[in-house]
Chain A
Amino acid sequence: MGEAEQDRIETQEYLVNMGPQHPSTHGVLRLLLKLEGEIVHHVDPHIGYIHSGIEKMCESLTYPQIPYLTDRMDYLSAHMNEEAVCLCIENALGVEVPDRVKYIRTIFSELQRLASHQLWWCVMGMDLGALTTFFYGLRDREKILDIFEETCGARLTLHYSIPGGLMFDIHPNFRNRVHEFLNYFREKLPEYDQLLTGNVIFQERTRGIGIFPREAVINYGVTGPSGRASGFSCDVRKHHPYSAYPFVSFQEALDDRCDTLARYKVRIREMWESMSIIEQLIDNIPEGDYQVKLKGVVKLPEGEYFQRVESARGDFGVFIISDGKKSPYRLKFRSPGFSNLSALHAMSKGWKIADLVAIMSSLDLVIPDIDR
């Protein structure tokens, strides 16, 4: 081929719309990809397809009504979201909840984290093409949802925490069920490693893919397991302990390999840690009331209040500006998924489409959490 001829052959970047309806965007996220062959040159996330205006709706709800809406943002860490709102309102009112409430809330948070990570594990496998993981993960998640259902009557959008305490006391059967689950899951979790983690294809698909160094993680505000996989110690449970976390000892799962496999392993380790936290608390739930009676109409004193918790995806924050009325003047959520998504372009630039899918599922995005 002559040189002149070579010049005439041009390769061109082309645009592909990945989503809003696409199997691996888990919801209605639209990614505008600029590709050269299989290689991703640019990822442009377009959000807003299921924007539900939760923040604005909260401005017209009374304080006790807000937690039920936050369930519907990051539906996989519904309890953590509720807990953040409740803690924020309780701090603003200066109410100290009984230790029993703190313990139960922490156990629920950790169960919720387990359930969320289980679902993430099944979806991660499914995105990489191992469809069987999906059913094994859901099978185990079902046990946790049963625990939730028995105590609070709902499986996904729990609405268990309310300002001042809990909706119900724990079910008499709760302790037995949690023990049963822990014994069951301690046998099943090694199976996850056997099926997926150790698999040479999985290792090849994730090791060294989507490397995102610590500085970049901090710059982009990536938190949660995705941040910790790059060595960024950002666990709110450790640094700003709330509820019963001061009473338990646990390891913050940190990794410094910064790749997709590290993000995967951090979550698997978090599952072990969550089980150990639950184990420390479950037999020591103190006796006492399960809620503090608040006034009929809850009014926060004028001012600004902020509370952060560690949701399954990262640092979840609630910021309330109150003007002394019965509903907030402005309410802002700092959702971890939004910041994590912002790093997607930087993480997946230069990798292949298949890697983009792997990186995206290692970030564990929940779209209503991003869109709110």
Chain B
Amino acid sequence: MAFSIYDFSSFTQSIHEGLSNRLSPAGTLAVEWVIVGIVILLFVAVFGLFLVYAERKVCAFFQQRLGPMRVGPWGLVQTIADFIKLLMKELIQPARADKFLYNLAPFIVIIVTFLAISVIPFAKGLQAFDFDIGVFFVTSITAVGVIGILLAGWSSNNKYSLIGAMRSGAQIISYELSVGLSLITIVILAGTLQLSGIVEAQRAGWFIYRGHIPAIIAFFVFVIAGTAETNRGPFDLAEAESELTAGFHTEYSGIKFAFFFLAEYVNLFIVSAMATTVFLGGWMPLHFGNLEEFNHVMDLIPPVFWFFIKVFFVIFLIMWFKWTFPRLRIDQILTLEWKFLLPINLFNIILMTVIVLMGWHF
């Protein structure tokens, strides 16, 4: 079995061949599905918990605190302990809640995150599904998540939840537009919707560099809209602790609450991973034009690490926003989208088209 940390395609290929030799094609497919499912499940659980810990630490350092310090060295096991606590808590169901929808909602939210993760290229060959329409798939599948939030708010039989869900609905539907359009800006430059293709196209240079002005604008629009889509501060209106106590998940407890919580953080990862893939060169290492030796050293760092370094950079940026800015009001959030981000985005697409047509990009 050929295994290289720089290129996973031969590794996955050998697994596929090994299975095909022993099983029928349908059996191979079934086993591969199960393997992919388990890997993604483990990744979501571990990475989600790690992100919760990272957020608590990062926010603590922004606020001149130490953050969790008690469970494990530097509080490393804190989130696992929290998770165990959530597992053991009673599942409370409000009286006269719509039981079916109430129980369904957290699953919709968490399944959407699984689906979105499946198309993200972590490294060369390390991608569960390589669609031709990867960008389109991610934007459309993340939009389904809002249904879970709306159902959660609607079925809880709580006015706070309902207000939170309605806010979330209005917000996510608006910001879908910006997310899609800012990705399209880069798709124009890349000429493909396939995520692995987009990464390959950045071998010569990251798109944020190659597309210069419009790409940088698109990057920031994407980060802002992505923050809004994950319902994180300053766009955390759906939860809005000081207004709606906990918004759409007020009535959820135990593992169902944990699903919402985990989904929020995995969504944060998905937005960052998309930003990384589309704007920051995915798993491509950092290269500077003529510095051969520097480029060679950078090549030694495995692509997976490059991917996660960039993802953490974007995650840190989004956390920085959250722990600095006050929350916007619902009408201001829609104003920001429709009066600022959307016109900027449309103008940006025209600019990018002109640049691509004239060959003014790098």
Query: Which residues of A are interface residues toward B (Cβ below 8 A)?
Result: 14, 16, 22-24, 38, 125-132, 134-136, 139, 195-196, 199, 201-202, 204-205, 352-355, 357
List the B side residues contacting A196 at CB < 8 Å: 326
Bound-state Cα–Cα, A16 to B159, Å:
7
In the complex, what residues of B have CB within 8 A of residue A202's CB? 326
**Distance of A304 Cα from B160 Cα, bound (Å):** 49
Cβ of B111 under 8 Å from chain A: no
Give residues of chain B (63-121) contacting chain A, Cβ–Cβ below 8 Å: 63-65
Name B234's contact: one of A127, A201, A352 (CB within 8 Å). Answer: A201
CA distance A29 to B323 in the complex (A): 28
Q: Which listed residue, B240, B244, B325, B329, touches A199 by the CB 8 Å rule?
A: B325
B324 touches A126 (CB 8 A): no
Question: Which residue of B has the minimal Cβ distance to A356?
Answer: B243
Total contacts A to B, CB within 8 angstroms?
A: 81
- When distances are taken between beta carbons in the complex, the residues of chain B under 8 Å from A205 are 326-329, 332
Once the chains bind, are B332 and A129 in contact (CB under 8 Å)? no
B229 at the interface (CB under 8 A from A): no
Pair A201/B163 contact, Cβ less than 8 Å = no
Cβ-based interface call for B331 (8 A): yes
Contact with A along B152-176 (1 / 0, CB 8 A): 0000000110010001000000000
Q: Can you name 29 A-B pairs with beta carbons within 8 Å?
A: A14-B159, A16-B159, A22-B245, A38-B330, A128-B242, A129-B234, A129-B236, A129-B325, A130-B327, A131-B63, A131-B233, A131-B323, A132-B62, A135-B63, A196-B326, A199-B325, A201-B328, A204-B328, A205-B326, A205-B327, A205-B328, A352-B329, A352-B330, A353-B244, A354-B237, A354-B240, A354-B327, A354-B329, A357-B243
A129, chain B: closest CB distance, angstroms: 3
B327:A132 contact, CB within 8 angstroms: no
**Interfacial residues, chain B to chain A (CB-CB below 8 A):** 59, 62-65, 159-160, 163, 167, 233-234, 236-237, 240-245, 323-332
CA distance in complex: A22, B246 (Å): 10
Q: How far is the CA of A128 from the CA of B245 in the complex (A)?
A: 13
In the complex, what residue of chain B is closest to A206 when comparing beta carbons? B326
Partner of B324, one of A38, A128, A130, A134: A130
B327 contacts which chain A residues (CB < 8 A)?
Answer: 128-130, 201, 205, 354
Return B170 CB to nearest CB of chain A, in Å. 10
The reply to whether A353 and B243 contact each other, CB–CB distance below 8 Å, is yes
A204: which of B62, B324, B332 is its contact (CB, 8 Å)?
Answer: B332
Neighbour of B245 across the interface among A23, A132, A354, CB < 8 A: A23
Give chain A nearest CB distance to B119 CB in angstroms. 33
Residue of A nearest to B329 (CB): A354
B237 to chain A: which residues have CB within 8 Å? 354
Q: Is A201 in contact with B325, judged by CB distance below 8 angstroms?
A: yes
Q: Do the beta carbons of B325 and A126 come within 8 Å of each other?
A: no
Residues of B within 8 A of A23 (CB): 241-242, 245
On whether the beta carbons of B332 and A38 are closer than 8 Å, the reply is no
Q: Are B242 and A24 touching (Cβ within 8 A)?
A: yes
Q: Report the separation of the CA atoms of residues A62 and B292 in the bound assembly, to the nearest whole angstrom.
A: 87
Q: Which among B167, B242, B245, B324 has the greatest number of chain A C-beta atoms within 10 A?
A: B242
